[in-house]
Structure 1
């Protein structure tokens, strides 16, 4: 009876096909994977920063365009008050 137990225990790794080892590996690497994912969520990649900056600049340029258009219309209505544009300029802080 004891021999049968040894045989069954020795055949266990072959029968499971290494899934126990894979499970142990997955459990051991889980904290590293979770930490990496948390860091990815909390940091901004360079491509995200570039995309956000581009979006910000486009909005500023749209605002400058609208204000320049208003200034040009006001200049057409009253040419005596016209001068160099001194309104909002994209890329400058408010």
Structure 2
């Protein structure tokens, strides 16, 4: 058992500095990554703006189509009520 510990101890000491260095780098870069994430949340990219505009326009066109269809139906109803045959 002590032989195993004696053999593994140098290997563990060699692995430990890499682990500590990685942790130190993570701690140092954390504020930068947090700031970048906050900036990303606060701003809208061109792709997001285009997507939102397209969604808005499709919704508006759908509403206009429904209103047009409703107005056409109302016009035909009034035409038939007035006694015309060709209300097309």
TM class, shorter-length = 0.5 to 0.7
2:21 corresponding residue in structure 1: 21
Gaps of 5+ in 2: 1-10, 83-88
1:50 corresponding residue in structure 2: 50
RMSD: 2.3
Any idea what the Cα deviations from partners look like across 1:27-82, whole Å, max 9, x if unmatched?
111110110111111111222111111111111111111111111112212348xx
TM-score (norm 2): 0.66
1:2-13 to 2 correspondences below 5 Å? none
Flag the structure with higher helix content: 2
Structure 1 residues 32 and 13, CA gap change in structure 2 (3 angstroms):
farther
Aligned equivalents of 2:73 and 2:12: distance in 1?
A: 86
Greater than 3 Å deviation, 4+ residue runs: none
2:74 corresponding residue in structure 1: 74
TM-score (norm 1): 0.62
Gaps of 5+ in 1: 1-10, 81-94
Instruction: Considering Cα pairs closer than 8 Å and 6+ residues apart, tell me whether 1 or 2 has the greater RCO.
Output: 1
